[in-house]
Structure 1
Amino acid sequence: MPQRLLGSVEPPADLSNHDTTTNTEARDAIFVVQGMWCSSCAFAIEHFLKKQPGVLDASVNFVTASALVRWAPTTTGPASLEKSVASLGYRLTSQASAQDSRERLAQARRTLLVRLGVSIAFGMWTLMASALLYFNYGLGPRVDWIIALTASLLALPVVSYAGLPFYRAAWRTLRAGHPGMDVLVSLGVISAMTFSAWHLWRGSSDVYVDTAVMLITLLLAGRLVELASRQDGLDALASLDSLSPESARVWRDGQWESSALEDIRCGDQVSVDAQAALPFDGFLDNDQALIDRAVLTGETTPVLLTRGDRIEAGCINAGPALILRVDAELGHRYIDSLRNRTLQLYARKGEFQKVSDSVARWLPSAALGLAVGTFFMVLARGVDLDEAFAWSLSVLIVACPCAVGLAIPVVTQAATARGLRQGIVFKDLSAFETLARARSIAFDKTGTLTTGLLGIHDIHTARGISGDDVLRLAAQAEQGITHPVAQTLRRHATERGLALADGLAAIHHPSLGVAVHEPQGTILRVGSPRWLSEHGIDIPDIDEGIGKIVGVARGKRWLGTLILDETLTRDAAAAVAHFRDASFTLALLSGDQATNVHAIGQRGGFRRSERFAELTPDAKARLVETLPKPSVFVGDGINDTLALATATTGISVAGATPQARDIAAISLLTTGIGQAWQAHRLARSAYRLMHQNLAFSIAYNLLALSIAVWMPIPPVIAAGAMALSSVSVLANAARLYIPPETSVQAPQISDNELRNTGSI
């Protein structure tokens, strides 16, 4: 694939340090941040950027490793911002290919797995050796000292190698002026090891290296989960690059030649083969072309365009080869704007994240201050230095955020496993909270609420002819045509065992129908009622709101009419009824024609005011933005990616495109949307346990801290208290329970309502 850029939203010229004395307007851009280890890094970089001269606002997202920065060009620019961030040990880049970013994350994941493996391998033996000391088997002081020394030596690879990223992140966040949890963890590990070494030097076997090992191992496992989230976020953005081919054939020097997309300029003519994706936005140079725009609108029927009509990159040429005159270069196409909009949405922070950041701003500093204050307080009370150090170390160990850090992940892990067994994949850990609190849900139509395939709803026939005869003639006329209607007719004819003749002379009129010259000299026409009427054929009136109408006529005689409609998934109406019963605000959003949307919406249980048709991806996203928050969008296509990113929680259904699956926070593996309701019920149960765990862990730690501050607790007891809090939240997570299914009947919407819908 061409090397597309993940960084800049504005053209490259806007991202340089030119003389900006004549341009005082604020500028903003999305940058790629390299070197982040945890969410504390993201928070520290964000705070650091906000303090830089000329920076008006900044938001750093750890999952996508991106920074959205707004600055005054007369004061600063990207080059100076990159230099400032580099002083902390991170890299801020305005240009990075998707492939390079994926390779960096893959390397980081491999390194993290090695560190976690080392931590588990050596930590297991460290804990076993420490257990001999804790249970005091009466082996004698000398043997106890040797066991303590062995445990300490086994812990060294964990502390020196596996824990290195924590120390590095702690140092960087300290330099940024906003120490995070890594500072607290690092101090706890280093203090435990230092205290253990001091006791070993004095001949004592009282060591607490197991505490350091346990902290590092548990937190490395948590970092691995975070890294997986970052990989998903990057894949979601990079996957949008696959909508167009790697190269295109361009007309130069009197001949067609293959060229990379980045070398093609506005005004160039490119050739697009049949069934190929358009590489650029541009204007049609042919007299006419049949274009499948489902990638942008979701409409199942290809549209007929004429010379001068504009086409967007990513659409499929459903007819013969065409020539396109480029008017938007790589990076400025419509699909590029969709991708950049998605990137901006990811870079911005939600209210919950802002609250979390506010807590993170003071918690590490408060814990450190409490430990230091305890040290001096007990010294002032006449306690000797060794005991004061042990006392403050106990406070620091108790303050380590193990239980608080585990409170949410252990629940999400249990809920994720339960979801997998039900065919539900939660890819974004925050989706449990947002889906549980959701107040509105919107559905795409084609491929989401429906199976994506057309079915034959009914066949009306003239006197003396059967429905099978009408279907056979229609399917026979549509031989060799790739249109969805033609494919449906042939599929149903084959399923009914109808024999189709070959070799008939047929003329295809795109978007109208097919005319077949039969051997007996008559003309068989299959197509839209309007087209048949233009040829003087009298067709009985049929309400077009009930589906797609295909008429069949021989000469001037009408033979029959086939009514085609989309097939609802078997659980669509029941799922919609469940969400309505739960007081959700509902919406059906589609790029398809209004008549089709009304028909499907009525059968699916949507009220007239809840159906919206003929929507572009931007319009879908704007409507999702107006829904009550938190909001949910369920979709399956590339044209749904922006709406999936705009919604608080995006859900992709089985059979969705890779782009939709990557961007969605939740993926359904089984056909139908019934699993969306199951996902909501699972999220509610998980969300309740998250609150319980978080409240319990905070209360537990506050109580333990209060006791540790006011009375001397050996560090081993402090480590045990910390472990007990972790065990408690694990036990509570095991209580994950999904309420039994309740029967909800789909509401019946009258045909009268459908007839009164009008246009949208």
Structure 2
Amino acid sequence: MTCCASIASSLPEPGPRRPGVDEVALASKDLGSGLRQITLSVPDMRCGACMALLESTLGKHPEVHMARANLTAKRVTIHWHAENGSPPDFAALIGTIGYTAVLPMEGRDQSDGEISGLLRALAVAGFCSMNIMVLSVSVWAGADPATRQTLHLMSAALALPAVIYSGATFYRSAWRALVHGRANMDVPVSIGVLLSFGLSVYDTFAEGRQAYFEASTSLIFILLVGRTLDHLMRRRARSAAASLADMMPKGANVIRADGRIEYVPLSDIVSGTRTLIAAGDRIPADGTILSGQSELDRSLLTGESRWEAVGPGGQVRAGDLNVGHPLTVEATAAPGDSTLADLHRMLEAVEDGRSQYQILADRAARLYAPVIHGLSVLTFLSWFAVTQDIHLSLTISISVLIIACPCALGLAVPMVQVVAARRLFTQGVVARDGSALERLAEIDTVVFDKTGTLTQYEPTLLTGNWTGPLEFSLAVSLSRFSSHPMSRAIADYASRREWEALALDDVREIQGNGLEASFRGEVYRLGRAAWAASGDADDRTAAASTIVLTRQGEILASFVFGEKVRAGSAMAVQFLKSRGIAVEMLTGDVPEAALAVAREVGIDSVKAAALPKDKAEAIDALRGLGRKVMMIGDGINDAVALKTAHVSMVPASGSDIGRSAADFILLNGDMDGIKVALTTAGRAAVLIRQNFALAIVYNACSIPLALLGYANPLIAAIAMSTSSILVVANAMRLEIDGTPPGREMRRIKKLAGVG
């Protein structure tokens, strides 16, 4: 399992086509403010040193704002400034350092080609190596000179296919690296294999007592075994994003202007495209239903198994499954800009975050080339000065180069992060950033928002009082300008009653307070009583929230909303307390309503009537005391606090701004994901430390042994491959179910008063 290797270069098929500048421009995503993003697949990327080289090379370009490589997905994401609308030739720039860059869609099928090529090379090397070892037994047993010479010639014939065909994977990669002025781990491997084979051929024709054909073929075989296992394990680790992509259709039935229905690829769907969604089809892009009545299974994104009835005017999202009747849907965004596409990008970007452990591993990978290559040269000179044996000196120096590969160190962090992200996703939690897992494991305080977080996001309008039909119509007309759940509840209530849509002027929404507008020259407000009525409002009732409609501070109407505690909230709070984590509530609601919910879920510390800036300041104050705070909120008014916190979490029902500010998204409609995320983050932190310990102990023990001549190239290859496989296998242990035993679950339920 070597570093920086170009697997694809060993295959007889021609390589993938490099995308042109125009293709890169079309595939780029607009991030706003003149910044664009492109993701390219780099199949030659093998380790942390490759990541560092790609990032540093791209980062030196004046138009590149940021470059971030993803080792597991073998992709690089580039943010660049679109000053003249045309991007730099990124594929050519990457090619100058010996890597191949393709568009992700074109590189999607390369994985199967890589694994089939590896298996063919592995089969040839295994067959040759095993048969040479059988022949070597007779040589080691003391065969006579004539028999020994014959066996050596047979071994040479068997070694040729392995050295030429199976070893081509390493030779081509090494040559590509050297012609671009860099060295990778395939350089010393190639030298070791060819030197070993060449010395064996010399010893054979010189009628020497020993030949080393089994060393060269076994070295190739062991390295190919390690590389194949590494490839398979990485593909398995990143299958969460891949399986999500596989669930999406490859195309859709588009309704043309003349009424024709034509099946087209997803890339042809844009905003405004009308699609026909048959029963059993998934929605290809976010959109609006034009005609048809049906039911949708939205469990892919929400985790809710209950089907939802939809009709004309209803909003649908990419990934929703139509389980009823045909629908005609007009796309409101291209498939690449859909909610599901964003979720897919989150999963692929999970290891882009640089934790402290990852930064340490990257630095070690950068130091590898100058330190280890220099050490290998010193080893050769020292052994040659002492023994005057060039064969032995070369063998030991090559062993040092092979055994000191930092593959295990480079895999220690990203493999755990990717496996953790997949485990979280399968249990309804999306991690937006791999480094957030490390921060989540450090928290000692959790701060909850109330409305939409601990309570259901959709409040119910219990009662309403207004002076006349005009006031009611004013309140409904104002509420239609906001997506706040209370505003939607008023609009839903009004849909079953008579009201008049009024033309309002100068409508604006004040975060954390409400709506303000002008009507017939007077200012009306709909929102928090303390704000809308300038403090002249009555107190709100316990376990309920009230908003009022005012004119110049005079209350004209009031609306009382009831709340329902979100499923799993009480158990989540008690779980946090059982781990010694402090729990607080920070809400914009009045004290009575906040305390009622706090008592129900078991929170003792409550701060009510908090504006958005108050929430951020409260989080800052806790951090100033040395606390590691996790903020769990859902709305626009929580966005600053979510960003301020050490780590943050938001329900999937939260606002777009809230979701973009959070580190974790709870897909299911309950708080059970908190326990899953904390448990997984804790186990991931332990596994990362274990992986670092494995990598450090391996290098601390193996390099001195190689320097002292106790490890030949074959043993070095076995040790190097084993260390990487151990690190990957240790990361895969995270997939083992870590649910607390039944006794602990019963204790948590008892504390929460459930069951």
For residues 480-516 of structure 1, give each alpha carbon's deviation from its aligned partner in whole angstroms, at most 9, with x where no partner exists. Answer: xxxxxxxxxxxxxxxxxxxxxxxxxxxxxx99999xx
2:441 to 438, 441, 448: 438
Q: Which residue of 2 aligns with 1:32?
A: 41
C-alpha separation in 1, matches of 2:349 and 2:661: 10
For residues 581-612 of structure 1, give each alpha carbon's deviation from its aligned partner in whole angstroms, at most 9, with x where no partner exists. Answer: 5x599999xxxxxx9xx989967999989895
**Bigger Cα displacement from structure 2, 387-396 vs 67-76:** 67-76
Taking a change above 3 Å as real, the CA distance of residues 412 and 695 of structure 1, as seen in their structure-2 partners, is same
Matches within 5 A, 1:545-564: none
C-alpha separation in 2, matches of 1:198 and 1:176: 32
Q: Does the CA contact (< 8 Å) of 2:47 and 2:71 recur in 1?
A: yes
C-alpha separation in 2, matches of 1:173 and 1:248: 47
Write the letter of the residue equivalent to 2:402. C
Q: Which residue of 2 aligns with 1:67?
A: 76
**Bigger Cα displacement from structure 2, 196-205 vs 686-695:** 686-695
Matches within 5 A, 1:209-358: 209-228=213-232, 229-230=234-235, 233=238, 236-237=241-242, 239-240=244-245, 242-243=247-248, 246-248=251-253, 250=255, 252-253=257-258, 255=259, 257-260=261-264, 262-263=267-268, 266-270=271-275, 277-283=282-288, 285=290, 311-315=316-320, 324-340=329-345, 342-344=347-349, 350-358=355-363
Q: Which residue of 2 aligns with 1:123?
A: 129
Q: Which residue of 1 aligns with 2:516?
A: none
Taking a change above 3 Å as real, the CA distance of residues 348 and 340 of structure 1, as seen in their structure-2 partners, is same
1:394 to 390, 393, 396: 396
Write the letter of the residue equivalent to 2:695. L
Taking a change above 3 Å as real, the CA distance of residues 683 and 48 of structure 1, as seen in their structure-2 partners, is closer
Q: Does the CA contact (< 8 Å) of 2:230 and 2:725 recur in 1?
A: no
Q: Which residue of 1 aligns with 2:748?
A: 746
Write the letter of the residue equivalent to 1:180. N
Q: Does the CA contact (< 8 Å) of 1:37 and 1:169 recur in 2?
A: no
Write the letter of the residue equivalent to 1:390. L
Q: Which residue of 2 aligns with 1:701?
A: 702
Taking a change above 3 Å as real, the CA distance of residues 355 and 110 of structure 1, as seen in their structure-2 partners, is same
C-alpha separation in 2, matches of 1:76 and 1:243: 31
Write the letter of the residue equivalent to 2:442. R
Taking a change above 3 Å as real, the CA distance of residues 586 and 176 of structure 1, as seen in their structure-2 partners, is farther
Q: Does the CA contact (< 8 Å) of 2:402 and 2:720 recur in 1?
A: no
SS in 1 for 2:238: helix
Taking a change above 3 Å as real, the CA distance of residues 348 and 628 of structure 1, as seen in their structure-2 partners, is closer
For residues 229-283 of structure 1, give each alpha carbon's deviation from its aligned partner in whole angstroms, at most 9, with x where no partner exists. Answer: 2465376157347456832453633x46345355555445555567865444445
C-alpha separation in 2, matches of 1:13 and 1:411: 31
Write the letter of the residue equivalent to 2:365. A
Write the letter of the residue equivalent to 1:64. A
TM-score relative to the length of structure 2: 0.57
Q: CA deviation at 1:105?
A: 0.9
Q: Which residue of 2 aligns with 1:189?
A: 193
1:92 to 77, 98, 101: 101
Q: Which residue of 2 aligns with 1:167?
A: 171
TM-score relative to the length of structure 1: 0.57
2:365 to 360, 365, 378: 360
C-alpha separation in 2, matches of 1:220 and 1:124: 14
Q: Does the CA contact (< 8 Å) of 1:30 and 1:69 recur in 2?
A: yes
Taking a change above 3 Å as real, the CA distance of residues 195 and 120 of structure 1, as seen in their structure-2 partners, is same
Taking a change above 3 Å as real, the CA distance of residues 747 and 443 of structure 1, as seen in their structure-2 partners, is farther
Write the letter of the residue equivalent to 1:177. G
Taking a change above 3 Å as real, the CA distance of residues 402 and 730 of structure 1, as seen in their structure-2 partners, is farther
Taking a change above 3 Å as real, the CA distance of residues 276 and 80 of structure 1, as seen in their structure-2 partners, is closer
C-alpha separation in 2, matches of 1:728 and 1:263: 46
Write the letter of the residue equivalent to 2:700. A
Taking a change above 3 Å as real, the CA distance of residues 623 and 208 of structure 1, as seen in their structure-2 partners, is farther
1:157 to 145, 158, 161: 161
C-alpha separation in 1, matches of 2:230 and 2:148: 39
Q: Which residue of 2 aligns with 1:690?
A: 691
C-alpha separation in 1, matches of 2:142 and 2:412: 37
C-alpha separation in 2, matches of 1:349 and 1:645: 18
C-alpha separation in 2, matches of 1:184 and 1:41: 17
Q: Does the CA contact (< 8 Å) of 2:583 and 2:603 recur in 1?
A: no
Matches within 5 A, 1:105-120: 105-120=111-126
Write the letter of the residue equivalent to 2:39. I
C-alpha separation in 1, matches of 2:337 and 2:129: 52
**Bigger Cα displacement from structure 2, 171-180 vs 293-302:** 293-302
SS in 2 for 1:204: coil
Q: Which residue of 2 aligns with 1:104?
A: 110
Taking a change above 3 Å as real, the CA distance of residues 318 and 576 of structure 1, as seen in their structure-2 partners, is farther
C-alpha separation in 2, matches of 1:129 and 1:651: 61
Q: Which residue of 2 aligns with 1:518?
A: none
Q: CA deviation at 1:101?
A: 3.4
Q: Which residue of 2 aligns with 1:370?
A: 375
C-alpha separation in 1, matches of 2:92 and 2:309: 52
Write the letter of the residue equivalent to 2:76. A
C-alpha separation in 2, matches of 1:608 and 1:158: 71
SS in 1 for 2:748: coil
Taking a change above 3 Å as real, the CA distance of residues 608 and 749 of structure 1, as seen in their structure-2 partners, is farther
Taking a change above 3 Å as real, the CA distance of residues 137 and 292 of structure 1, as seen in their structure-2 partners, is closer
Matches within 5 A, 1:274-673: 277-283=282-288, 285=290, 311-315=316-320, 324-340=329-345, 342-344=347-349, 350-376=355-381, 381=385, 384=388, 387-401=389-403, 405=407, 438-439=441-442, 580-581=579-580, 612=632, 628=646
For residues 446-471 of structure 1, give each alpha carbon's deviation from its aligned partner in whole angstroms, at most 9, with x where no partner exists. Answer: xxx99xxxxxxxxxxxxxxxxxxxxx
Q: CA deviation at 1:29?
A: 1.6
Q: Does the CA contact (< 8 Å) of 1:82 and 1:92 recur in 2?
A: yes
Q: Does the CA contact (< 8 Å) of 2:52 and 2:362 recur in 1?
A: yes
C-alpha separation in 2, matches of 1:168 and 1:698: 27
Taking a change above 3 Å as real, the CA distance of residues 700 and 75 of structure 1, as seen in their structure-2 partners, is farther
Taking a change above 3 Å as real, the CA distance of residues 721 and 130 of structure 1, as seen in their structure-2 partners, is farther
C-alpha separation in 1, matches of 2:415 and 2:273: 52
Q: Which residue of 1 aligns with 2:466?
A: none
Q: Does the CA contact (< 8 Å) of 1:432 and 1:684 recur in 2?
A: no
Taking a change above 3 Å as real, the CA distance of residues 290 and 599 of structure 1, as seen in their structure-2 partners, is farther
C-alpha separation in 2, matches of 1:132 and 1:585: 73
Q: Which residue of 2 aligns with 1:180?
A: 184
C-alpha separation in 1, matches of 2:351 and 2:58: 18
Unaligned runs of 5+ in 2: 1-17, 420-425, 455-491, 497-540, 546-562, 587-592, 608-629
Q: Which residue of 1 aligns with 2:477?
A: none
SS in 2 for 1:91: coil
Write the letter of the residue equivalent to 2:68. S
Q: CA deviation at 1:59?
A: 2.8
C-alpha separation in 1, matches of 2:603 and 2:249: 37
Q: Does the CA contact (< 8 Å) of 2:365 and 2:410 recur in 1?
A: no
For residues 170-192 of structure 1, give each alpha carbon's deviation from its aligned partner in whole angstroms, at most 9, with x where no partner exists. Answer: 22233343322222322222232
For residues 342-385 of structure 1, give each alpha carbon's deviation from its aligned partner in whole angstroms, at most 9, with x where no partner exists. Answer: 55555565554443333222323433333334444566x5864x
Taking a change above 3 Å as real, the CA distance of residues 104 and 131 of structure 1, as seen in their structure-2 partners, is same
Taking a change above 3 Å as real, the CA distance of residues 627 and 24 of structure 1, as seen in their structure-2 partners, is closer
